[in-house]
Amino acid sequence: MRHAEDKVAFVYSDAFTRYKFTEDHPFNPKRLEMTLDLIHTLRLLDGVPLIEPVPATMEQLLAVHDSRYLDAVQRASLPDADPDSYAPWGLGTEDTPIFPGMHDASALVAGGTVQAAELVMSGKADHAINLAGGLHHAHRAQASGFCVYNDIAVAIAHVKKKYAGARIAYIDTDAHHGDGVQWMFYEDPDVLTISFHETGKYLYPGTGEITERGEGRGYGYSLNVPLEAFTEDESWMESLTAILEPVLDAFAPDLIIHQNGCDAHRYDPLTHLCATTRIYREMPRLTHRLAHKLCGGRYVAVGGGGYDIWRVVPRAWTMLWAEMLGRPLPEALPPEWIARWQGDAPDPLPTQFVDPPNLFEPIPRRAEIEEKNQITVRRVLNGTPFL
Amino acid sequence: MLVESIMTENVVTLTQSMSVQDALDISKAHRVRHMPVVRDGYLVGLVSDRDLRDAKPSTLESCDDQLLRETLVDKIMVKDVHTCHRLDFVEDAAAQMHRHRIGCLPVVSQGRLVGIISERDILHTLVEMMGVNAPTSRVEIEVPDRPGMLADIADLLRARRMNTSTVMVFPSPVAGCKRIVFRVRTMDPRRFLQDIENAGYTVIHHPCASSQGEV
Ligand SMILES: [Zn+2]
Ligand SMILES: [Zn+2]
């Protein structure tokens, strides 16, 4: 959809790439460089204000994180910190190793998402994006799944504090359950969290069951749609559409935040879903449209997971940005971009934004998987009290 | 894990001299299905919602409300009650409930009622034990049924600095084997899975380890 009058903001700093664990860690900030380069090559930032992020303040972080945890992260950020003494905080593990400057890098990412939300809520922008954000696994007092500070939760808490009464819809389409954000607002009826993910039967973090629906006054305001391993585009999009339309209509949000982790792709090495980049064109289209329909276009997008940094992330997030901008994309990737990155890439880089329909063999148990997902969607809708 | 760590201590109780109507009201108000009957703190019987239903006249004879008010708990309660001790293991209590097909066990210490555990408490414990109270990935491994297997795999985890939140050992449908299920605190178990295969064991059911879609 094109909204020529939309004001958009792109929050970015080269310092975002300091959020980096080790050389061979799957969460690799090179994906941000590659994405930015692709966006620049397509001239999708011409005339768009590039917003330099400021780090989240201690006060902003304390709204969702434990002060002892913030303390531990700061101590673990010193060059001579001993990784073994931070295990209770989920730090110094193989997933979330400590590194010098960890606090500053994480606070900058969180600050970026706060700024994106603030720009939108204050009316300075209709849509804003922070591709370094989306660290949805971070808990109140524990790092988890490559996430140190929960930038999304920090931004939501900021909005709730500054814009009293605001109702926020958080949509998480990362392949993993958006557990951190869910638990932080589990009892809050003004923050609706909806997570679509591969079922936790095998996949990290294991939570995100249909039965996790919130607690107390927040009952019904946490939604989980655990989809089967090997789910493909059609079933994934069908589930999304069936849930998001009625649920968001009924909730009537003032702001939509969409986490755009792109690890549901067939190429992703950490998950077992079988989507193609088609869903990364269609999902932002859907959530962008809902923002215009339901909350005056107030729409914030963040990144998230995505571990095929060569073949998936740059395409997915460029399509996301083009959608927010209302600018059509060419079908083919610019050859000069491919030429610049192909040398480093372990696999041939794709040449089209949208994967061709016959790229992968169909899944043998497709019909059963689709049926199971349809049952899941029905159970989610049936148990949502405000529908 | 001991019964005392999962039992409910504030038990809704009845006395023998209460009427069946009182018992029905209490059961409804507290939404409990099992109510121990006590005298001076000592357990003397148990009333379940089934006993109450049986005592209640069918709706056709609803004029018999009188009967409900006149019949005493003492008359309908079960006197020979299965109980457990607060220091019993949860698995023993669960086995006892399963064997006798009962929905609860009053916890008794020196004759006095100190708590109660229900099917729900047992299920809740099971869910916690099987594990997803901490963010983890699930890994299931088939190993030969001989000593030292668990230690072997634990060594692999230690080498990777990976923490485990739960471990379960199940019988395997393959003769001479058993299955070990770990919930490992990592988002990226790939190298651990590779270690397991390199060590000659089989990863079961994991989507990565099976051909696509044929899990
Ligand atoms: Zn728009
Ligand atoms: Zn993810």
A158 is catalytic: no
Q: Which residue of A has its CA nearest to B137?
A: A204
The DSSP annotation for B11-42 comes to ---B-TTSBHHHHHHHHHHHT-SEEEEEETTE
What DSSP string runs through A266-330?
A: TT-SS---BB-THHHHHHHHHHHHHHHHHSTT-EEEE------TTTTHHHHHHHHHHHHHT----
Which ligand lies nearest the alpha carbon of A326?
1
Q: Which of helix, strand or coil describes residue B174?
A: coil
Q: Has residue B132 got a pLDDT over 70?
A: no
For the cut 60, the answer to whether the pLDDT of residue A314 exceeds it is yes
Question: For strand B202-204 and strand B137-144, is the pairing parallel, antiparallel, or unpaired?
Answer: antiparallel
> ipTM higher than 0.90?
no
Q: Which of A202, A210, A263 to mutate to test the interface with B (most CBs of B within 10 A)?
A: A202
A289: tokens are: 């449209």
Give the class (CATH, top level) of B133-209.
alpha beta
Taking CB atoms and an 8 Å cutoff, what residues of chain A touch B188? 26, 94-95, 270
Which pLDDT band, with edges at 50, 70 and 90, does B134 fall under?
confident
Residue B204 clears pLDDT 90, i.e. is over it: no
Residue B106 or residue B164, greater confidence: B106
Model confidence at B135: pLDDT above 60: yes
The reported pLDDT for the residue numbered A298 is 98
Split at pLDDT 50, 70, 90, the class of A343 is very high
Checking if the pLDDT of B125 tops 90, the result is no
Residue B214: CB atoms within 10 A of its CB come to 10
Q: What's the pLDDT score for residue A292?
A: 97
CB B138 to CB A229 under 8 A?
no
For residues A292-320, average pLDDT: 98
Residues of B in contact with A206 (CB under 8 A): 131-132, 135-138, 183
Sequence spans of domains, chain B? 3-127, 133-209
pLDDT at residue A232 is higher than 90: yes
| Chain A interface residues (partner B, CB cutoff 8 A) | 26, 87, 93-95, 137, 144-146, 176, 179, 200-207, 229-230, 269-270, 272, 274, 361, 363-366, 369
Residue A173's pLDDT is 98
Ligand 1 centroid to residue A80 C-alpha, Å: 47
The model's confidence at residue A5, banded by pLDDT at 50, 70 and 90, is confident
| Nearest-ligand number for the alpha carbon of A172 | 2
Question: Which of B182, B187, B190, B191 is the mutation pick for testing A, counting most A CBs within 10 A?
Answer: B187
**CA-nearest residue of chain B to A207?**
B132
pLDDT of residue B188: 93
- The pair of structure tokens assigned to B124 is 């809740």
Sorting pLDDT into bands at 50, 70 and 90, what band is B213? Answer: very low
Least confident of A51-55, A220-224, B63-67: B63-67
pLDDT per position as a tens digit, A59-89:
999 999 999 999 999 999 999 999 889 989 9
Task: Write out chain A residues lying below 8 Å of B131, CB-based.
Answer: 206
Assigned superfamily of B3-127: CBS-domain (3.10.580.10)
Q: Do the domains at B3-127 and B133-209 have one common CATH topology? A: no
| 3-state SS, residue A348 | coil
* CB pair distance less than 8 Å for B132 and A230: no
Expressed in angstroms and rounded, the spacing between residue A203 Cα and the centre of ligand 2 is 10
Is B208 in Cβ contact with A206 (below 8 Å)? no
Q: Report, as an integer, the average pLDDT of A270-295.
A: 97
SS3 B201: coil
Residues of B in contact with A203 (CB under 8 A): 137-138
Please give the helix or strand (H or E) that residue B127 lies within, else none. Answer: helix B119-130
Chain A interface, mutation test: which of B188, B194, B206, B211, most A Cβ atoms within 10 Å?
Answer: B188
* Interface contacts A/B by beta carbons within 8 Å: 77
Domains detected in chain A: 8-382 (3.40.800.20)
What is residue B214's predicted lDDT score, i.e. its pLDDT? 41
pLDDT at residue B58, as a whole number? 61
- Is the pLDDT confidence value at B209 over 90? no
Say whether pLDDT at A1 is over 60.
Answer: no
A272-300 burial by CB neighbour count: b if 16+ within 10 A, else e?
bbbbbbbbbbbbbebbbbbbbebbebbbb
First to last CA, chain A: 27
Predicted local distance difference test score (pLDDT) of residue A94: 87
Contact A201/B138, CB-based, under 8 Å? yes
The average pLDDT across A117-122 equals 98
- Please report where in the chains the tokens 């702001």 appear, as a residue: A255
Q: Which residues of B touch A201 (CB under 8 A)?
A: 138
Confidence of residue B210 (pLDDT cuts 50, 70, 90): very low
Q: Which of A127, A137, A139, A258 is catalytic?
A: A137
Q: Do A94 and B136 make contact, defined as CB atoms within 8 angstroms? A: no
Please give the Cα distance from B74 to B68 (Å, whole number): 13
Give the distance from residue A48's alpha carbon to the nearest chain B alpha carbon, in angstroms.
Answer: 36
Question: Which residue has tokens 């059911």?
Answer: B205
The reported pLDDT for the residue numbered A184 is: 98
Among the bound ligands, name the one nearest to the CA of residue A129.
Answer: 1
Contacts of B206 in chain A (CB under 8 A): 202
